[in-house]
With several copies, the nearest count.
Chain A
Amino acid sequence: MPTTPESDLYELIQAAVDPAALVRHVRAGQDGAIVTFDGFVRNESHGRATKYLEYEAYEPMALAKMREIGAQIHERYAIHRVAMVHRLGRMDIGETSVFIAVSAPHRAAAFDACRFAIDTLKRTVPIWKKEYFQDGAIWAEGKIPPTAPKTKPAS
């Protein structure tokens, strides 16, 4: 597995996400493109009005899986830097839960890597979301992570 560049940033945080700071983190003179994904709390879920969400994580494992995704995208795509942050705790409508920024010399790699990163995060990172409505709360349906990720050699 390739090592993740020291200059990447992977964090689980409780406070509000600061997208501008994350973009500054990945931006450098050798780059020409940054693609960002901002995932935030929608006002409805399956037709029910959302009041707020709560996220919890298996923190050390989640951070390790986020770094693993970073290593995968460095291996697959000609990118420069990655910043990937997931917020935990309670979030209101409109608040960012996840933010990913990827810089690259050229745009195709930045798009591919950013999309692979969020798609893989949603399948493999141990984080759980509880949705609160006027009349109750449910754990979001979620995805069953692959027990042996295809992208990793069995070793």
Chain B
Amino acid sequence: MPSVSPSVRVKVLFFGRVRELTGLTEENGEISEGATLGDLLERYIQRYPQLAGFRASLVASRNQEFAAWDTRIAGGDEIAFLPPVSGG
């Protein structure tokens, strides 16, 4: 089911529990122009259903700033899905 809308390239980073569950540390992907951070997360949850249980505890970052799920993705963005932080 190829998308007919134009797509943009994004870099996606994975940390902590999300890194372990997906087995990914970083990947480059494409997503339809106009898609939100929430849309991108749902795509990863489809690919890695074991992420679904953690959906409520994740926050997104876009270009190294925390960002709301309805934030639209732009080409070249660096995105991460961050589990609850536990530094210190």
Contact = CB atoms under 8 A, between A and B. Distances in A.
Interface of A: 39, 55-58, 60-62, 64, 86, 97-98, 118, 121-130, 139-149
B87 A139 contact: no
Binding site of A, secondary structure by majority: helix, strand, loop or mixed? mixed
Contacts of A121: 87-88
A127 B86 contact: yes
B67 to A, nearest CB: 7
Interface residues of B, number: 23
14 contacts: A55-B87, A58-B13, A58-B61, A58-B82, A86-B87, A122-B87, A126-B80, A127-B86, A128-B83, A141-B84, A143-B84, A143-B85, A145-B84, A147-B59
B68 interface: yes
Given A147-B67, A148-B66, A148-B68, A126 B86 contact: no
7 nearest interchain CB pairs? A127-B87, A142-B84, A128-B16, A142-B86, A140-B86, A61-B64, A122-B88
A86 B88 CA distance: 7
Nearest to B63: A61
Contacts of A129: 86-87
Most chain B CB within a 10 A radius of its CB, from A39, A64, A139: A139
B61 A61 contact: yes
A146 B65 CA distance: 11
